[in-house]
Amino acid sequence: MTDGVEEDNVAFYSDGEAYWRGRPPTVDAMLGGYGHISGLDVCASRKFISQFLGEGPGKTGQTRALDCGSGIGRITKRLLLPLFDRVDMVDVTETFLKRAPAYLGADAQRVDNYYCSGLQDFIPMPGHYDLIWIQWVIGHLTDEHLTNFLKRSCAALRPGGIICIKDNVAQEGVIWDGEDSSVCRNLDLLCRIVEDSGMSIVEQKCQDNFPKEIYAVWMIAMR
């Protein structure tokens, strides 16, 4: 029984990795052909995260951020490097990380680490980050691996630090996508996973003005 579950997990991850290995290192590919919504996406993310940033009790510092499932660094470039001194990136697809320095340009000098790893295996450095941003990648993790990754991410926060998930949300149930081997969870399940990780949601907001035909996209901040 356990072996079957393990085998399913192996195929779930290897199929997802194979899908992304076959995609070009472009913004359009990062967004599944919706490259034109990148500006709108980053703008809303900046507004969402800005409410937590600053100095003083409970505020989130701006020294170091981690971009999870970073791809070529679309979010690192437009959202994180303008707000944080130093950024680390982690992604399972090596070709995307190799492309990142050229895509980031001169600001790449403020990216310290390009970790090539699945988030299911990755251990962010404890007590290291003010912000951990996790966008459009959680569907590639099983519930158990996502819960455990959130626990490790929580341990990787500096005082006042915060974790944000931004991702597609299903209206009900869990929707499987066989093309890229991912799942889309409903909001209740996502909130339950956050709770199971031992954190609390401090703010959540649905993205405005995205195309009608795509999933609702939610930003969820937790600590």
Ligand X SMILES: C[S@@+](CC[C@H](N)C(=O)[O-])C[C@H]1O[C@@H](n2cnc3c(N)ncnc32)[C@H](O)[C@@H]1O
Binding region for ligand X (CB under 6 A): 16, 20, 30, 69-71, 74-75, 91-93, 96, 118-120, 135-137, 140-141
Q: 47 vs 54, which CB is nearer to ligand X?
A: 47
What Å distances lie between residue 137 and 38, 119, 143, 156, 185, CA to CA? 16, 9, 13, 19, 12
Q: 60 vs 70, which CB is nearer to ligand X?
A: 70
Residue 38 CB, nearest approach to ligand X (Å): 8
Asked if residue 168 lies in contact with residue 214, where contact means CB atoms within 8 angstroms, the answer is: yes
Residue 140 CB, nearest approach to ligand X (Å): 3
Q: 70 vs 207, which CB is nearer to ligand X?
A: 70
Q: 54 vs 125, which CB is nearer to ligand X?
A: 125
Residue 35 CB, nearest approach to ligand X (Å): 10
Q: 87 vs 92, which CB is nearer to ligand X?
A: 92
On the CB side of 94, how many CA atoms lie within 13 Å of its CA? 0
Taking the alpha carbons at both ends of the chain, their separation in whole angstroms is 35
Residue 160 CB, nearest approach to ligand X (Å): 24
Residue 7 CB, nearest approach to ligand X (Å): 17
Phi, psi of 47 (to 5 degrees): -65, -40
Burial class (CB in 10 A: 0-12, 13-18, 19+), 101: middle
